[in-house]
Structure 1
Amino acid sequence: MFAVYQPHGFAPTRHLKAELIAAFVAGLGPEDCLMMPEIYYAGGTASKDISSKDISAAVAAAGRKALFFANRGEIPAALSKLARPGDIIAVMGARDATLSAFAGQVLAALP
């Protein structure tokens, strides 16, 4: 299973960091992989002192497969190389109006 998770907002991600890490460590199996693009930024003033890289690194340090992508656009190509027939790919996030189009790009990239 590939879990593609794009957090929404720097403050919510900072607030939920420990819970997100714990949930991914507990929920990902030995063959699963977390793929995280950078945090979705909707604009406004924000303290950008947290990154998806922080979460993915902590999940990887706990023994799970986790990859960070500074550019979300690189994920479909990565999945086209890693995913096999029968794999599940879950694309998750919130309030990003482009997320469903991105999920379509993921699907289109699969062999």
Structure 2
Amino acid sequence: MAKFVAICFWMLVAIVSIHAKPASPDADATITKQEQEVNPDGSFSYAFETSNGIKASASSTDGAKIIGEYSYTGPDGVLYMVRYVADETGFHPEGAHIPK
């Protein structure tokens, strides 16, 4: 279960970092807000915001199904918002920019 949470977190980090340009001001971004709660029963929640406008949050009541969202401003200046469910069937993102 903890491995599943870690994999989902690093997938999120990878997705967000794909859109960052090397040597940009984003390279100096800092975390401005961070909250997390991890419980013995496997439930958890986390949220963070960065100085360059990235926001992410996720939670799970049982550790098996994670519901979350993240947003960032792309290189084109557009704010991208993604909501997702990650469970035993995979990662299921939804967003205005994601084909259905």
- Shorter-chain TM-score bucket reads under 0.3
Q: Which is richer in helix?
A: 1
TM-score if structure 2 supplies the norm length?
0.27
Q: From the two aligned structures, give the one with the greater strand fraction.
A: 2
TM-score (norm 1): 0.26
